[in-house]
Chains A and B, each alone.
Chain A
């Protein structure tokens, strides 16, 4: 069942982003920034967490899931470290993603050449 909900919820989030792009004539960069901010907002009020429990990767793989990861990371860090967690929690939670993106990015840029 989770597979179906991952497909449906993930797909619907993408449709929402596509409609934002097409109807408001924004650039893709503006839409991505908007959605990561929305993920952080809905994560902060606890709604995005419910979506993650329900749809699994359908909610964590799209970019709002990144905003959600940052906010929940901050929440947990504040519990253990206090106020300092506001600064350290976000990046710590997202470290795997960011660091792997940098490493993969470097590796691929060194190996492959752009085509058309």
Chain B
């Protein structure tokens, strides 16, 4: 079997590769520092669709289709589609599946769903299940605003810790086998996180809510694979943003670990936080999905990086739970990806 159990949280794989990937983003994400790495950039947030929900569905579908085209794989060859989004009842992921008609495992862990999908996908492939899995995640700024915050045209001031939900989708095609040709990237291992809640209640400060979950998962992962953080060229968290990376670094320091040169964050990288008025940085399932599928995969293939750990982070609250005064639980899932030589 191609899967090894390292602990209750972590598994190692020796026969799963990422054959292709695609990232499609909105105009604001396209104007950001990573703009040139994305496969497609929409000219407008809605791109001629009538609702933001419909736009998110189209964005996700486009990323999924493109990942298959790049690998030269037909939809009929895909065994299982995995992934999720932020919308109630996963309507982007579910409605996309209405179109592609392949078996679907819809998942939810808020903005951590991309690494949850890739990790689980790798595990079931390595365990001898399906051989071709498409893992994808999406988010849309306007549909998320409507669901979690306020109507689009309602005026309000964002606080300095607020995150900007990205309009972005990313998809990766995972296949069984040893790496055969140049574009293949290896999924080495995955660590599934615990739900951590350290009492943060402010829905406009998800960085503080999520940083302890990211810390817990990274520590667990390093312990399980028996490595120091320097094993990775870079550890990318999902959407901790400017504040979250500082908190993560500070938590490591308290335990005598110096992680500062290894930490970076997808949400912080996706936008120019000085110029683009996004405050703490980007968020949403599409954030880590697109930064990984667009930027990080290319950095790995261009030999900029040898090995990265992607740790998507999710705040598991609902508009109801925070109005009821509940604190915000968070989760982080990690996948380790390396290039073949």
Contacts and interface: CB of A to CB of B under 8 A. Distances in A.
Are A and B in direct contact (Cβ within 8 Å)? yes
B152 A116 contact: yes
B31 to A, nearest CB: 13
B211 interface: no
The majority secondary structure among interface residues of chain B is loop
B268 interface: no
Contact of B151 (A25, A28, A114, A116): A114
Contact of A115 (B28, B152, B156, B202): B152
Contacts of A116: 28, 45, 141-142, 152
A19 to B, nearest CB: 13
Interface string B123-163: 00000000000000000011000000001110010000000
A114 B152 contact: yes
The majority secondary structure among interface residues of chain A is loop
A115 B152 CA distance: 7
Contact of A28 (B28, B141, B153, B156): B156
A114 B153 contact: yes
Interface string B150-178: 01110010000000000000000000000
B156 A114 contact: no
**Count class of interface residues, chain B:** under 10
A28 B142 CA distance: 20
A28 B151 CA distance: 14
Contacts of B45: 115-116
Nearest to B141: A116
Interface in A100-116: 114-116
Interface string B189-227: 000000000000010000000000000000000000000
A115 B141 CA distance: 11
Nearest to B202: A25
Contacts of B141: 116
Contacts of A25: 202
A20 to B, nearest CB: 13
A17 B151 CA distance: 21
A84 B28 CA distance: 56
A25 B200 CA distance: 14
A79 B261 CA distance: 75
Nearest to B28: A116
Contacts of B28: 116
B205 to A, nearest CB: 10
A25 B153 CA distance: 22
Nearest to A109: B153
B201 to A, nearest CB: 10
B41 to A, nearest CB: 15
A114 B202 contact: no
A116 B152 CA distance: 6
Tell me which of B28, B142, B153, B202 has the highest count of chain A C-beta atoms within 10 A of its own C-beta.
B153
Interface string B29-45: 00000000000000001
Given A28-B156, A114-B142, 12 more contacts: A25-B202, A114-B151, A114-B152, A114-B153, A115-B45, A115-B152, A115-B153, A116-B28, A116-B45, A116-B141, A116-B142, A116-B152
List the 6 closest A-B pairs by CB distance, nearest first: A114-B152, A116-B45, A114-B153, A28-B156, A116-B142, A116-B152
